Amino acid sequence: MKVAIASGKGGTGKTTVSASLAASWQRPLVAVDLDVEAPNLHLFLRPEIHGDEKAYMEIPVADESKCNFCRACVDICQFKAISILGSVLMVFPEMCHGCGGCLAVCPEKALTPGQRELGHIIWGAAGSTGFLMGRLRVGEAMSPPLMRQVKARLNAMIQHAETDVVIDAPPGVSCPAVNAVMDADVIVLVTEPTPFGLYDVSLAYGAFLPLGKPMGIVINRAGLGEDTIYEFCRSKNLPIWAEIPFSRDIAAAYADGGIVAQASSELQLTFDELVESIIDAHAEHQEVLHA
């Protein structure tokens, strides 16, 4: 089972919940940080790192001496990554989305595969929990290609074992966020009871609903702002799986890099119940699917 921890808005406690969930999970688990622009899960799980590899995307490299200026590559490229100016063939590597179209259409083999660095894929273990993350290179604009490679690595890691997965997804509802949750079996939406939190979680709910996956809410900093989030959950029939009370102690524990579930026995209980709710929601959904 794959569980994605998402949030419409950044800073609601998505990583806090991911880390605590990973620490409370009773079955074999890999925790994955797919928030590759701002990966933070490792700061709380503090895994022992076993490997660190650079990830690359295939891009074209031009050999002008072979080019007959037929413009087939220029015509197929939707991203303006190749240009012919007079008698010069130019590649703009950072524009390339890695679709391979130009390489496939060039009749003269004037374009050959090269590489652009996307960032790093890092893996390891925090106790018995497997750990995997992507970290986007500063200056790299596209995160989905790196996320795809992290997901491919994840699938290789869990192929042979009955292992569950907790995914720390990017915030928002843009392409990278949807990319991170679309392979999950269950989606946990983390929000806070403020106008921003409500607005953003309603966007996320709308974005993820078409995926047809069981969803539940975790309200972080409960008691902080206002109660409209509860009305929203009722009206959408969205279960509230956990509430983490607003307290300075919790905020300070987080600030010092602590795992919130371990801050008190009440909180540990909250997260144990969250784990159960997720497992139950998944089982229920499977039954509906197979009925």
Q: Which positions lie near another protein, rule CB under 8 A?
A: 8-12, 15, 37-38, 40, 43-44, 76, 78-81, 83-86, 88, 90, 92, 95, 97-101, 104-105, 136, 138-144, 148, 170-179, 182, 194-196, 199-200, 203, 206-208, 224-226, 248, 251-252, 254-257
Nearer to another protein, 105 or 279 (CB): 105
Task: Please name the amino acid found at residue 227.
Answer: D
Residue 196 has a CB neighbour count (10 Å cut-off) of 14
Nearer to another protein, 156 or 287 (CB): 156
DSSP tally for the chain: helices H, then strands E: 10, 11
Helix orientation angle between 195-208 and 228-236, rounded to the nearest 10 degrees: 20
N-term to C-term CA, the chain: 19
| Closest distance to another protein from the beta carbon of 44 (Å) | 7
Token pair belonging to 148 = 């795809």
Beta bridge partners, 29, equal 164
Give dist(CA 140, CA 232) in Å, integer. Answer: 37
Nearer to another protein, 5 or 277 (CB): 5
CA atoms within 13 A on the CB side of 286: 9
| Closest distance to another protein from the beta carbon of 276 (Å) | 27
Task: Tell me if 268 sits within 8 A of 261, measured CB to CB.
Answer: yes
Which H or E run includes 275? helix 265-290
| Closest distance to another protein from the beta carbon of 147 (Å) | 11
| Closest distance to another protein from the beta carbon of 27 (Å) | 27
Nearer to another protein, 9 or 282 (CB): 9
Token pair belonging to 110 = 């004037």
- Nearest Cα residue to 3 out of 288, 245, 289, 285: 285
| Closest distance to another protein from the beta carbon of 163 (Å) | 22
| Closest distance to another protein from the beta carbon of 282 (Å) | 22
| Closest distance to another protein from the beta carbon of 93 (Å) | 10
Nearer to another protein, 145 or 277 (CB): 145
SS3 (DSSP) at 126: strand
Strands 2-6 and 164-168: parallel
Nearer to another protein, 60 or 277 (CB): 60
Nearer to another protein, 27 or 79 (CB): 79
